[in-house]
Amino acid sequence: MRNGSVQHRAFFKVLVANRGEIALRVMRSARRLGLGVVAVYSDADRDALHVRQADQAVRIGEALPAQSYLNIPAIIDAAKASGADAVHPGYGFLAENEEFAKACKDAGLVFIGPSPQAILAMGNKAGAKEIMRKAGVPIVPGYQGADQGAEVMLAEAKKIGFPVMIKAVAGGGGRGMRLVNDAASFPDALRSARSEAKAAFGDGSVILERAIQNPRHIEIQVFGDINGNAIHLGERDCSVQRRHQKLIEEAPSPAVTSELRARMGEVAVAAVKALHYEGAGTLEFLLDEHGEFYFMEMNTRLQVEHPVTEAITGLDLVELQLRVARGEPLPVKQQDITFSGHAIEVRLCSEDATHDFMPQSGRMARWQVPNDIRVEHALLSGSEIPPFYDSMIAKVISHGATREEARGRLIVGLEQLVAFGVTTNQAFLMSCLRHSGFARGEATTAFIGAHRDELLAPRKDGASDTALAGLLLYVTNPNAPSWRSGRSLAATFPLPVQIEIDGKAHELEVTRERDGSYVVAIGEQTHTFEIGQLDPDTIRFRHDGVMDTAKFYRDGDRLYVQHRGLPLAATDLTLAPPKAAAANGGDGKVRAAMNGRVVAVLVKPGDRVTAGQPVMTLEAMKMEHVHKAGIDGVIAAIDVAEGEQVTTGRIVVEIGAG
């Protein structure tokens, strides 16, 4: 297949058809090459950082992706309006859409990526597997047939043998993917996968694959140019995942030997040459425990995790994309590529790991990143995180001479990063990095599932952190006397403080002693603190003979604390009225668990339901979340409609006794 439709010519201004940290990353390399940069934005991103930092920015529509960042005509019009002569699709949304690549070419714009033919060939998982099979690339056994009937799919799944993996034909990023362990679960999993794939990609078609147990997820970074040159830049290990979405990536892989790297790289380069492929691409493989690898898919774009490859090769992969798009030959040959040290990346996501990784949106009240580690982000203190897009809000990348050095640097970097206002997976990421299995390089795709309880275990110093939160609420109360160091002649008596952390109320008593120290009592336990310094965002104190520091931010009755790298949010309930009984659906009202869009109403008024029965599906941050009945009863009311956007806590379904 010859990609004659790739359009090469000099260009001077690049429109980035994406948002957030992706747009900023592309802009950085484009500017270094002397190019102008144009941003596009939805209504939800009007004041976003990528908009502020671009030379020009063009509004392309409403908040939902389909009306904005996936709106091909609007993006083409934006390029024309701004005078851009090239378009970089980023590494999401339209990066693997052949219609978008073709629309750019038809509009006289250089598309910074492969040809529409290559995108189409590799974007369809079933077709891509057949192309790779003919090129001699080993593939996972499965079903890629055109007949998508439910009965046919079930029969094919039985032929393959359970467990099987359902995958969206046009998908990626874990959307439209389900692991099915038995025939009884297959119909519901198939329906859910198709629904999610249709919502995410506009195509509900799926394929089936044999589920390889406990594999490594290994991908090979490749590049091709106009002259038919092709290279690989080694592998990345992306095995640590949840819901089939990557959380931690590293290069090189602890499981790949130099011999295996050469073999996988040779296969990947052969495939690129067979495709006459131009630009950046990634071949993704499953590596089993016997060292055999199987092709899964090819992503015809730059990957989110490309910084770890940049760290160990010293190459700027966005720059390579831009140069290849101008028709330049690759500036390096395979023999020129060397690998230095080890790099690890984590994806910081706005989600609550302790509540099934539920997506979170809202205002990031305080955002601070460390200076001595690479952080790709597009946030400022006060930035709004909307519910319409992916939950990843930043990437933190470390590089060291050894894997252990890189791991240590990354842990320290995460400890220093401050994200107050929206719940993130920061603590969960540190727990993963500190786990002995990860430290030994043993993590497979089963890592999180196998160690979930350990990774989500309550913090060991939870009682002292609760006491610290209570102390901070006390000393930062605007109606309380200002904190002063030194001794006091005033009489000492305890003052009650009631706080809530993770939905649990704590009764505390805080006493200012005459020697200047504070005693915080929680039941029978007491904690003594000596405050050495209290700044607007930092407290320095002694506790149990240790001088320590914590970052904090107070927003009314809400307090955010970060102590030893672990974030905590507390609410002051001291003067609050008694709360109504917790509503987990036990009152018959089903409430939205997050900001999201109603994609399916699964019941109707008058239906009889049982506790645990699915009643509604919401989509938030490109993932579907099923909401279930909390009690047995009869549907009394449906309070929302399909397609409606709802906020956290809103009543969506009412169930009456019956």
pLDDT (tens digit per residue) in 53-63 = 999 999 999 88
**Length of the chain measured in residues:** 658
Q: Could you please report the per-residue DSSP string of 391-460?
A: SEEEEEEEEESSHHHHHHHHHHHHHH-EEESS--SHHHHHHHHHSHHHHTT---TTHHHHHHHHHTPPPT
Query: Per residue in 604-615, is it b (16+ CB within 10 Å) or e — as a string?
Result: eeeeebeeeeeb
Tell me if 222 sits within 8 A of 234, measured CB to CB: no
Phi and psi at residue 608, in whole multiples of 5°? Answer: -90, 130
Query: How high is the pLDDT of residue 582?
Result: 42
Q: Could you please report the per-residue DSSP string of 203-227?
A: ---EEEEE--SS-EEEEEEEEE-TT
CA 584 from centre of chain:
27
Distance CA 146, CA 137 (A): 22
Looking at every residue in the chain, the average pLDDT score rounds to 91
Query: How high is the pLDDT of residue 1?
Result: 44
Helix axes 317-325, 306-313, angle to 10 degrees: 100
What phi-psi label fits residue 460: left (phi over 0), alpha (psi between -120 and 50 degrees) or beta? alpha
- Cβ-based neighbours of 431, under 8 Å, separated by 6 or more: 454, 455, 456, 457
**Can you list the domains of the chain with their CATH numbers?**
13-112 (3.40.50.20), 116-136+217-340 (3.30.470.20), 141-210 (3.30.1490.20), 341-455 (3.30.470.20), 462-572 (3.30.700.30), 589-656 (2.40.50.100)
Query: How high is the pLDDT of residue 124?
Result: 74
Tokens at 552, concatenated = 């904090």
Query: How high is the pLDDT of residue 433?
Result: 98
Res. 355: pLDDT tops 90? no
Query: Collapsing DSSP states into helix, strand and coil, what is residue 49?
Result: helix
- Which helix (H) or strand (E) segment holds residue 515: the answer is none
Which residues belong to the active site?
Answer: 301
Tell me if 421 sits within 8 A of 560, measured CB to CB: yes
Distance CA 351, CA 595 (A): 12
Distance CA 95, CA 113 (A): 8
Distance CA 187, CA 638 (A): 26
Phi and psi at residue 3, in whole multiples of 5°? Answer: -90, 65
Distance CA 34, CA 91 (A): 22
Distance CA 322, CA 279 (A): 9
Q: Give the tens place of pLDDT for each residue, 558-592.
A: 999 999 888 999 999 988 766 544 445 578 889 98
Res. 647: pLDDT tops 90? no
Phi and psi at residue 620, in whole multiples of 5°? Answer: -140, 135
Quick one: average pLDDT of 321-334? 96
Q: Could you please report the per-residue DSSP string of 181-192?
A: -SGGGHHHHHHH
Tell me if 212 sits within 8 A of 139, measured CB to CB: no
Query: How high is the pLDDT of residue 4?
Result: 54
Tell me if 276 sits within 8 A of 3, measured CB to CB: yes
Query: How high is the pLDDT of residue 494?
Result: 86
Quick one: average pLDDT of 483-497? 72
Tell me if 415 sits within 8 A of 87, measured CB to CB: no
Distance CA 308, CA 344 (A): 6
Distance CA 76, CA 109 (A): 9
State yes or no: cis peptide before 252, omega within 30 of 0: yes
Distance CA 631, CA 629 (A): 6
Query: How high is the pLDDT of residue 488?
Result: 66
Query: Collapsing DSSP states into helix, strand and coil, what is residue 535?
Result: coil
Res. 491: pLDDT tops 70? no
Query: How high is the pLDDT of residue 585?
Result: 59
Distance CA 310, CA 75 (A): 29
Query: Per residue in 628-650, is it b (16+ CB within 10 Å) or e — as a string?
Result: bbbbebbbbebebeeeebbebee
Distance CA 378, CA 53 (A): 10
Distance CA 219, CA 445 (A): 13
Quick one: average pLDDT of 51-77? 92
What percentage of residues in the chain have a pLDDT greater than 70? 95
- Cβ-based neighbours of 415, under 8 Å, separated by 6 or more: 430, 564, 565
Q: Give the tens place of pLDDT for each residue, 387-436.
A: 888 899 999 999 999 999 999 999 999 999 999 999 999 999 999 999 99
What phi-psi label fits residue 621: left (phi over 0), alpha (psi between -120 and 50 degrees) or beta? left
Distance CA 15, CA 111 (A): 10
Res. 487: pLDDT tops 90? no
Tokens at 487, concatenated = 């001794």
Query: How high is the pLDDT of residue 374?
Result: 98
Quick one: average pLDDT of 135-154? 88
Distance CA 283, CA 300 (A): 9
Query: How high is the pLDDT of residue 583?
Result: 45
Distance CA 90, CA 94 (A): 8
Quick one: average pLDDT of 220-229? 95
Q: Give the tens place of pLDDT for each residue, 225-275.
A: 999 999 999 999 999 999 888 999 999 999 999 999 999 999 999 999 988
* N- to C-terminal Cα separation, the chain: 64
Closest CA to 615 of 631, 629, 605: 629
Tell me if 563 sits within 8 A of 550, measured CB to CB: yes
Residue 122 or 89, more confident: 89
Distance CA 51, CA 60 (A): 12
Query: How high is the pLDDT of residue 612?
Result: 87
Residue 426 or 68, more confident: 426
